[in-house]
Chains A and B, each alone.
Chain A
Amino acid sequence: MYVPGLEVPHLCTQCVDYPCVNSCPFKALSIDENTGAVRVDKEKCTGCGKCIEACPGAVPFIHPRDGYAVICDLCGGDPECVKVCEEVGYNALILVKLEKPRLDFDILKKGYARKPIDVTKDLSILLYGEEVV
């Protein structure tokens, strides 16, 4: 929370070119064939943080106790966060099916991978009309 009151959800967008997977020096990251999510091999991961640097949205983080990278794996295709959002009735998060890759839309998806501070800044402009300094 960079600005009090403006908390933004911050999720992996599954970029077309998977910069995190390509950046991993230990080949600990892989792509789930069914969901397109990134999976982390806990054994191989050393917690070096290369994937966080590579991610355009700085989505991965290092597990505080076990020291390996954590990336949203979509809970194996049935995400808990979506369930909660639906249960409460906001329906802000929806589950979409993985479709056949389409280059034009997949590139657009990457545009939504943004660092939390940028999203907060834009949101503050939209809500308060002022830029956060």
Chain B
Amino acid sequence: MVYGYNGRLLEVDLSTSSVKEVELNEDTLRMYIGGRGLATKILWDRFGRRWDSIDPLGEENLLLLLTGPLTGYYPGARICVSGKSPQSNGVIGSTVSSEFPVELRCAGYDGIVVTGRAEKPVYISIFNDEVDIRDASVIWGKRGRETLAYLVKDWVDRYGWRPGRGLLKEPGVLYIGPAGEKMVRTAVVMSKWTHAAGYGGYGAVMGSKNLKAIVAKGTNPLPEVKDIAETERLIREVWKTHLGFNNLRYRGTSAGFLSVAAATSSEPVRNWQEEWHDRIEASTAYYEARLWVKRFWGDFGCAITCLKIACIRSGRFRGCITDNPDYEMQAYLGSNLGIFDPDSVVYICSQADELGLCGIQTGNVLGFAAELYEKGILDESDIGFPLRWGDTEAFAKLMHMIAYRDGIGDILAEGTYRAAKIISSKKGVDALRYAVQVKGVAVGAHGIRSGLDYTMETSYACSTQAGDHTSVANIPLRSGRVDLRESGALFADSAVLCAFNSFSVEGELVFRLLDSVTGFGITMDDWYNVYVPRILSIQRALLLIGGPDAYWEPIKDDDNPPRFYEPLPSGFKAKAVVDRGKFENLRREYFESLGWDERGIPRLDTLVKLGLMDVADELKRRGLLG
């Protein structure tokens, strides 16, 4: 009996429309916990030797939707979406909050493995043990909100009314928008109206499998825990700390739009040409007073309630609804495109939600295109209309073109890195120097040049999740909390909980909760000394193997984008720049702290100590291990 888990995954083969259950053995769970850790393990076991021949958007790739032991118990439930990423060609664990993971666990599964490709559009419907693969041709091509409305209505018609039990609450739904169907590499897996698993581009993987949505509902209890009284007490303790954490409750992360730019000088402005502005009209006060209609909103069990609902009541964008928008959206779909007006930011965010595009990745590629237009590399005949900084309608139009792969949108839909390569070869210029990305993934909206933000020189360059801002490679590896350092974020993605819900909580408390749920007895020391190097080593190995359309070289690609070596032109941190010598020292130190050599390849003794002999063999076969 494994406590805290259902102990089985649902495996759906879309090619043959067959469904089976896969038992999880206890040792695997003990060693890899769940979520990102388990995803890495599953992908390594299934593909390991032929990783470089797996096309991320091909039939063979897996789509993994995994929960962890703390999902549903810890306040703030999330699900980890993973597979071979079409952006970095490695493994990226991308999490999204909603009730879906709780429903899935209540239905009796710890996760879903989707393989193969359906002949025609389908969606998967799960109701406890009943698993159907249903026709989705009605909703194929529909936008987010229509899709969600159809799926929920259809589900309620079928299952909603249970004789003797009354009306059930609506199910959890994961779906993709039109962008995912067109296999746009910046597409996301969406949940509810506005939640998205952004990094990694798994919307495209889902679209490549002709899978429009997954609907799940469970009516059983969550899996049994080891010590129920202790778990209850610890959850209460976690809640108590959450109630004192007011900043996110009152302002969400939208406070960043002004404060990250004006106080820490690390916000992308016009494709990272600047990182500073002090536009007061971009501050929370304007969102709060004009746009937010629902200020305190949380998903299942969440006491942090950072989500605010914004609705435009008047003017040309009347009727647009989106969440918050949170800081990353405000930065990438706002200041990165030269837009500072709250209404315009809400409009462009709501369009991204509807189309199923990642705000960060798409915002980055839009800013990249606008800079090429500014520099004269792309002109009006390429794009079809002028693309000037701050022109909301033009950017919204280009976003539609990306989602439907129209005109230049077909190139930009490949993501910043691949688009830069295509444009470079077409125009005969080096467009890669304007692309602010690391290993195919656009960097998060926290710059490293000023040195005042939580990120540091190695944050994006050395992260196994490439440009991910929620899993940054900071030194030291260890901190007392489950925070956004790679080691903490790995825990949040593996036990699958919301990182925002763990900022205010002592790390020890979270590990005690994990212990009382699973009984594995994992301590914080174990986590940093064994689990982090183990999971990251496999993730790093898969990232370096890469393929088939992009390969990364150990030192050359473990570098910051060229933009970060240009001095900042404005603000109180003007002339600040990433020092290459300091960066290289930090990089070496970071790799050393994980037991990797100076090229970032896991050392043989480290791999032997962690029991990863098969990884060592594979790296040796490829000539990576010296």
Contacts and interface: CB of A to CB of B under 8 A. Distances in A.
Interface of A: 56, 103-105, 107-108, 110-112, 114, 119, 122-123, 125-126, 129-131
A105 B285 CA distance: 12
B280 interface: yes
Contact of B262 (A107, A125, A130): A107
B39 to A, nearest CB: 35
A131 B315 contact: yes
Contact of B280 (A56, A104, A119, A131): A56
B313 A126 contact: yes
Contact of A107 (B251, B258, B289, B293): B258
B317 interface: no
Given A56-B280, A104-B259, A107-B283, 19 more contacts: A103-B263, A103-B264, A104-B263, A104-B264, A105-B259, A107-B258, A107-B259, A108-B251, A108-B258, A108-B285, A114-B285, A119-B289, A122-B286, A122-B289, A122-B290, A123-B289, A125-B290, A129-B313, A129-B314
Contacts of A126: 289-290, 293, 313
Interface in B267-292: 278, 280, 283-286, 289-290
A29 B158 CA distance: 71
B313 A125 contact: yes
Contacts of A114: 285, 289
Contacts of A123: 289
A111 B280 contact: yes
Contacts of A110: 280, 283
Contacts of B283: 107-108, 110-112
A123 B286 CA distance: 11
A108 B314 contact: no
A43 to B, nearest CB: 33
Nearest to B264: A104
A107 B279 CA distance: 11
Grouping DSSP codes into helix (H, G, I), strand (E, B) and loop, the A interface class, with mixed when no group exceeds half, is helix
Interface in B229-285: 251, 255, 258-260, 262-264, 278, 280, 283-285
Nearest to B314: A131
A112 B258 CA distance: 12
A111 B284 CA distance: 7
8 contacts: A103-B263, A104-B263, A108-B285, A110-B280, A110-B283, A111-B258, A125-B314, A129-B314
Interface residues of B, number: 20
Contacts of A103: 259, 263-264
B293 A112 contact: no
Contact of B259 (A56, A108, A129, A130): A108
Contact of A130 (B258, B293, B313): B313
B144 to A, nearest CB: 24
Contacts of B289: 114, 119, 122-123, 126
Nearest to B293: A126
Grouping DSSP codes into helix (H, G, I), strand (E, B) and loop, the B interface class, with mixed when no group exceeds half, is helix
A56 B284 CA distance: 16
Nearest to B262: A107
Contact of A112 (B262, B285, B313): B285
Interface string B296-335: 0000000000000000011100000000000000000000
Interface in B189-230: none
B151 to A, nearest CB: 30
A108 B256 CA distance: 9
Contacts of A129: 313-314
A125 B313 CA distance: 6
Contacts of B280: 56, 110-111
A76 to B, nearest CB: 27
B396 to A, nearest CB: 21
Interface centre among B258, B280, B284, B286 (most CB of A within 10 A): B280
B310 to A, nearest CB: 11
What 3 A-B pairs have minimum CB-CB distances, sorted nearest first? A111-B283, A104-B259, A122-B290
Nearest to B315: A131
Nearest to B289: A122
Nearest to B261: A107
Contacts of A125: 290, 313-314
Given A122-B289, A126-B313, A107 B263 contact: yes
Contacts of A130: 313-314
A112 B251 CA distance: 12
A11 B314 CA distance: 27
A122 B284 CA distance: 13
Contacts of B258: 107-108, 111
Interface string B140-153: 00000000000000
Nearest to B251: A108
Nearest to A13: B285
A112 B259 CA distance: 13
A52 B290 CA distance: 25
Contacts of A105: 255, 259
Contacts of B255: 104-105, 108
Nearest to A110: B280
A46 B285 CA distance: 33
Contacts of B262: 107
Contacts of A111: 258, 280, 283-286
Contacts of A119: 289
A110 B99 CA distance: 37
A85 B549 CA distance: 65
Contacts of A131: 314-315
A130 B318 CA distance: 10
B415 to A, nearest CB: 32
Nearest to A103: B263
Nearest to B282: A111
B417 to A, nearest CB: 32
A123 B288 CA distance: 10
A58 B467 CA distance: 44
Contacts of B278: 107
Contacts of A104: 255, 259-260, 263-264
Contacts of A108: 251, 255, 258-259, 283-285
A129 B291 CA distance: 10
Contacts of B313: 125-126, 129-130
Nearest to B342: A122
Interface centre among A105, A107, A125 (most CB of B within 10 A): A107
A52 B264 CA distance: 29
B255 to A, nearest CB: 5
Interface in B27-65: none
A114 B260 CA distance: 21
Nearest to A15: B280
A108 B282 CA distance: 10
A110 B255 CA distance: 12
Interface centre among B262, B278, B286 (most CB of A within 10 A): B262
A129 B290 CA distance: 10
